[in-house]
Amino acid sequence: MKGLQDDLRIDLMDWCEAAPLATPLRHRVFVVEQGVPPELEMDALDSSCRHAVVRNAAGDVIATGRLLPDGHIGRMAVAAAWRKRGVGGVVLEALVAEAAARGMGEVVLNAQVHAEPFYRRHGFAAEGEIFMEAGIAHRAMRRPLSARA
């Protein structure tokens, strides 16, 4: 992982493997920290997604995100102690690379408005108006992929 400690590990996996790893972190970030209702955070789409999971040397899950079959990236979550250290970018780029490897022409996401600059740094462009999702302001963003992405 470029720019990160060598003792961090990222894996891409299906939900059956990712669920016990990613669920506690997602609950902590989205439900506890951001107040998203639990029934909105967990959905039936997880089983059809590829999930990125980052663990530290102790095996603690410190970041996660998912890629839907239609190229939508979501559920990006980084543990509070690991934010602003490049871990989210590693998750995002791993999901983008997975989309490219699957032949997708673009990836899209609904960014929390405060996170738009992060996604712009990773090649995403904002589209449309701000909208509310789970009580949080979001904006749609898109990144085209090349065959070499």
pLDDT single digits (tens) 92-107 = 999 999 999 999 999 9
pLDDT reading at 1 higher than 70: no
Q: Cβ(49)–Cβ(69) under 8 Å?
A: yes
Instruction: Tell me what pLDDT residue 3 has.
Output: 47
Q: What is the pLDDT of residues 112-143, one digit of tens each?
A: 999 999 999 999 999 999 999 999 999 999 99
What kind and span of H or E run contains 110? strand 106-112
> What domains appear along the chain, each with residue ranges and CATH number?
9-144 (3.40.630.30)
Beta bridge partners of 117: none
Please name which of 108, 87, 69 lies closest in space to residue 29, comparing C-alpha atoms.
87
Q: What is the pLDDT of residues 57-85, one digit of tens each?
A: 999 999 999 999 999 999 999 999 999 99
pLDDT reading at 146 higher than 90: no
Count CB neighbours of 89 within 10 A.
19
CA distance 20 to 22: 6
Tokens of 17: 């493997």
Instruction: Tell me what pLDDT residue 2 has.
Output: 44
Tokens of 122: 């990773």
Instruction: Tell me what pLDDT residue 7 has.
Output: 86
Taken as a whole, the chain contains a residue count of 149
Full-model pTM: 0.92
Tokens of 57: 């040397």
